Chains A and B, each alone.
Chain A
Amino acid sequence: MSFILTAVIMFIFWILLSGEFNIVLILSCIISSLFVSYISHDLLIGKTDIKLGLIRTLRFIKYIPWLMWQIVLSNIDLVKRTLHPRMPISPTIFSFRNELRTEMGMVALANSITLTPGTITIDVNKDEFIIHAVATELAEGLMEGEMQRRIKAIEGEAGV
């Protein structure tokens, strides 16, 4: 199942990138997408239940607008701090508990933390996230854990 799905995705991707249709191109497209998905069909889809994966993808799309707004806020904050003549920064390193179970969720949360105001992820393991914050007050904002709640909502119920 994951083999067919990967092959279809590769096929669509090829069409999008080339944008030309003739018999040689389409034939080499089919051959190469079948070959690539034969080698690596367990990388893209993995062992996740496909229906659950689809539901999570839809939930993630709903999460994107909020994330975009946070990215804009973080860039305004960054511009202020960079151009301020005295540089109002007080860097700290702190950690908080990791309550997520899926690897995809951890990746999403780590990337979201890096993109949102004043914080970047340094390390992730099974128990905790280690975060570097450019100012102490921003670290407290993250500790309230709204982002983790949202990612947990995307993960939803059981299943890996």
Chain B
Amino acid sequence: MDIIRTIISGILIATGCFLIVIAAIGVVRFPDFYTRMHPAGKGDTLGQGLVLTGLMVYEGFDLISVKLLIIIIFIFIANPTATHALAKAAYVAGVKPWVKDEGDGK
């Protein structure tokens, strides 16, 4: 029973780490500000959620896992909101989006 739980949490943590790395690569690799927000808003949110869920499974049910759940819920609300605030600030400041085949759009 304990071994199964460890394996499940290992899989969850590994997937989450993979998504976090993908988000980092995306932030470095995408061509302009708006597209960079996609990995930051999505990949990071689910990546963290998965790693913390993995820790929750490893822990079992007690006060610590409730704390982890609070962190997960907070991140799922706050991270998209921060992304949205950034996007709006850039949009109001007049950052032009990158469009395919038309210059580099910096």
Contact = CB atoms under 8 A, between A and B. Distances in A.
A122 B66 CA distance: 33
A71 B42 contact: yes
B interface, by DSSP: helix, strand, loop or mixed? helix
Contact of B97 (A72, A91, A111, A123): A91
Output the residue of A93, A107, A114 with the most chain B CB within 10 A.
A114
A6 B99 CA distance: 48
Contacts of A114: 41-42, 80, 83-84
Interface in A112-132: 114-115, 118, 120-123, 130, 132
* Contact-size category for B: 35 or more
B91 A122 contact: yes
Contacts of A123: 87-88, 91
A17 interface: yes
B17 interface: no
Interface residues of A, number: 29
Contact of B84 (A17, A74, A122): A122
B51 interface: no
Contact of A78 (B26, B80, B100): B26
Contacts of B26: 78, 82
A90 interface: yes
Contacts of A90: 100
Contacts of A115: 41-42, 45, 76, 80
A102 interface: no
Interface of B: 19, 22, 25-26, 29-32, 34-35, 37-39, 41-43, 45-46, 63, 66-67, 70, 76-77, 80-81, 83-84, 87-88, 91, 97-100
Interface of A: 16-17, 19, 71-72, 74-75, 78-79, 82-83, 87, 89-91, 93, 107, 110-111, 114-115, 118, 120-123, 130, 132, 134
